[in-house]
Structure 1
Amino acid sequence: MGKLLSLLSRDDSNCCSSPRYDIFLDFENAAPTDTERAVYEEVQRVLLDSEKILEEIQCYKGAGKEIREAIADPSRISQERAWRAVRPLVDKLLRCYNHSIQLQRMKTPAIQNDFSYYRRSVSRGGLINAELPPGEEPHITAEVANRMSLFYAQATPMLKVLSEATSQFVNENQPDLENTTETLSTMAKVCLRMLENPKLVAQFSREETSLLVLRVMVGLIILYDWVHPSGAFCRSSSVDVKGCVKFLQQQPPTKAEPLLNALRYTTKHLNHQSTPKNIRTLLAA
């Protein structure tokens, strides 16, 4: 991995520098090895189950109208109408939470609004308890509701979960720290080089593959920033954050903004004193 990383170091465009190497990874036709198959099949099952849930979230409308009416006129009828509108929506959010689907809170503000109203209604009891059979608790316990609230409060919930899981793995397996960070930074460089090279991009058979590689690149930077003690933004980082951000800024806003927001709000060290001012300024643009 170290040799591959050195091959990917940036060309200074002079006669003394190393030649620039580009590597193509076939994201579209990658297949698991025998040792990877069990994990692959488990992940594949989750992804297939998640397609319908993700579609529901993308079309999420929310119960804002009913909630506003219940707040303005806290009668039993208006509260009952709001509760019946919110309850099935929270069922969707629970399924989504259980599958840990990545969401963008800033793009779907109704999610947090609906769930906040649900939690307030459950805490008040009364109306909700009257609808429950004797002895039956609300279908989401207070503990689960608290975890869901923290999950949906994140700008990019799934990236947050992945970052914490990767950090936990490294903390429990310190000898693997260097291998882990080197793998993440090398893969981020590979993704950037692939996207920068029109000849490599032309090898993709599906248009959406470029967006997938963009997302993978950003995810790798975020994971590196969480795992590496000094983060991804310091001068000694082996991640080309500046090159990645500049490339993102050249993409259409609909593709670039969610990913730039992920770097702004999901990373750990962006506002650290070790982060160069020009990097913070670049991401603030």
Structure 2
Amino acid sequence: MPSNIRESDASCLEMIRSIIRSTVDDNSKWVEIFVDFENAQPTEDEREIYNMAEDVLHDCDEVLADVTSYGNGCYIERSQLKNDSDIQALKVLMTKLEPFVARTCSYYEHVAKIEKIVPIILWELSSGPLPLEEQLANKQSIAKQFARLIGFVLDFDVVKMRTAQITNDYSYYRRAKHIVYQDFEDQGVPELPQVQMFLCEGNPMLKALCNGVDAYMHSHQTLPINNTTDVFVTIINVCRFMLANEECLARLTDSSKHLCCRVMTGLVILFDHVDQNGAFVSNSSIDMRDVVRLIKQNTTQEQSDCLLAGLRFTTKHYNDSSTPKSLRQMIEVK
């Protein structure tokens, strides 16, 4: 929450916003707004938070470029070591592994940045008394930053999942370190237990995103849950409109279309994480069939498979009995 808003004022705003929006918001339809996820620029009022997010996103770009270039890491060097009891050879290998381990630690350090910026962005997008679609139209640059953050989260987790050597290098380094130095924990790259947990997580950046949402909701406990989920639904409906309207489509590049699809996917996952009934029930606030249709229509087969796999395997409620069979078939059949 911005520092210039007192806690009592914030509580009052939350109550007013909840009352107003409960009577005017309709989550079942498109939101006919074009949000320029590529070029929207901040107003003076938005600049501080926009720049805070920009700093995080700049690091996101560097982290994504680095993890994408990780390749086979030290796989060849590790496979050439035949005898783990050869301490000297292990020391040489550890020296080669250390830059890769340091890179992995830098990925983990990015988690805290995401967890910190998400509540700030959500507050900025939802703290006004206007209907959410108007709030979003007035805060396009902040919506752009949120979209870019979601895009990074999904992209990083896909690359990390496909790059097994990240985990293998780190695990081998830890084992070698204990063989070589035994109780001398101050030798080599410092070990962080959280890094191992980060690597064990199937989708670590998505978890960080969810943690950020949880932190936002915890700090605004007077707000009904649907005030948070409505933000997600509104942005999804904006993306649906942009991907279905011919005039909007003509303005979108292929990368913007892909970003819209990633944003919808990420927000469905967040909605499903927060909402008690999830995103897939027949009376969901999200038109899931339209979301799936638009993802398939506006992405390549590989991109579509990846995003739909995200809906299947990273959501809490997809496997619930309440998910309609027809929706499952739509998601699972290519």
Residue of structure 1 in register with 2:324 after alignment: 276
Structure 2 residue aligned with 1:210: 257
**Alignment RMSD, CA only?**
2.7
Structure with more contact order per residue of length (Cα contacts < 8 Å, sep ≥ 6): 2
Q: What is the letter of the counterpart of residue 172 of structure 2?
A: Y
1:128 deviates by 10
- Structure 2: distance between partners of 1:249 and 1:78: 51
Q: For residue 78 of structure 1, report the CA deviation from its aligned partner.
A: 4.0
Summarize deviations over 1:9-48 as a string: whole Å, max 9, x none. 6xxxxxxxxxxx7432222232334443222212211222
Quote how far apart the aligned CAs of 1:89 are: 0.5
Tell me, yes or no, if structure 1 residue 188 matches structure 2 residue 236. Answer: yes
CA drift at 1:138: 4.1
Match of 1:241, as an amino acid? M
Matches within 5 A, 1:150-169: 150-169=197-216
- The whole-number CA distance in structure 1 between the counterparts of 2:44 and 2:228 is 22
Match of 2:64 in 1: 54
Task: Give the TM-score taking structure 1 as reference length.
Answer: 0.81
Please say which of residues 47-56 and 36-45 is displaced more in the overlay: 47-56
**Deviation >6 Å, runs of 4+:** none
Q: Structure 2: 5+ residue runs without aligned partners? A: 1-20, 112-152
Q: Post-superposition shift, 1:125?
A: 4.4
* Structure 1 residue runs without a partner (length 5+): 10-20, 130-134
Find the counterpart in structure 2 of residue 243 from structure 1.
Answer: 290
User: SS at the partner of 1:5?
Assistant: coil
The offset of 1:213, in angstroms, is 1.4
- Counterpart of 1:140? 190
What secondary structure is seen at the aligned counterpart in 2 of 1:149?
helix
Normalising by structure 2, what TM-score?
0.70
Separation of aligned partners in 2, 1:68 and 1:136: 27
Letter in 2 for 1:92: R
> Hey, what's the Cα distance between the residues in 2 that align with 1:149 and 1:280?
34
What is the total number of aligned residue pairs between the two structures? 264
2:19 matches 1:8: no
Equivalent residue in structure 2 for 1:92, among 85, 103, 115: 103
Give the 3 Å change call, closer, same or farther, for CA 271–168 of structure 1 in structure 2. farther
> How far apart, CA to CA, are the structure 1 residues paired with 2:219 and 2:326?
34
Instruction: Determine the structure 2 residue equivalent to 1:126.
Output: 181
Q: Which residue of 2 aligns with 1:178?
A: 226
- The range that moved more, 270-279 or 187-196, is 270-279
Separation of aligned partners in 2, 1:6 and 1:261: 25
In structure 1, C-alpha distance between the alignment counterparts of 2:183 and 2:55, rounded to whole Å: 35
- How far is the alpha carbon of 1:218 from its aligned partner? 1.1
Letter in 2 for 1:234: V
Query: For 1:11-22, what aligned pairs fall within 5 Å after superposition?
Result: 22=32
Seen in structure 2, the aligned counterparts of structure 1 residues 283 and 69 have a Cα distance that, compared at 3 Å, is farther
Deviations, residues 132-175 of structure 1 (Å, cap 9, x unaligned):
xxx8354323xx2x212222333332122111221232244343
Judge which range, 164-173 or 109-118, deviates more: 164-173
Find the aligned partners of 1:171 and 1:284 in 2 and give their Cα distance: 35
Question: Is it true that 1:258 corresponds to 2:268 in the alignment?
Answer: no
Identity of aligned residues (%): 31
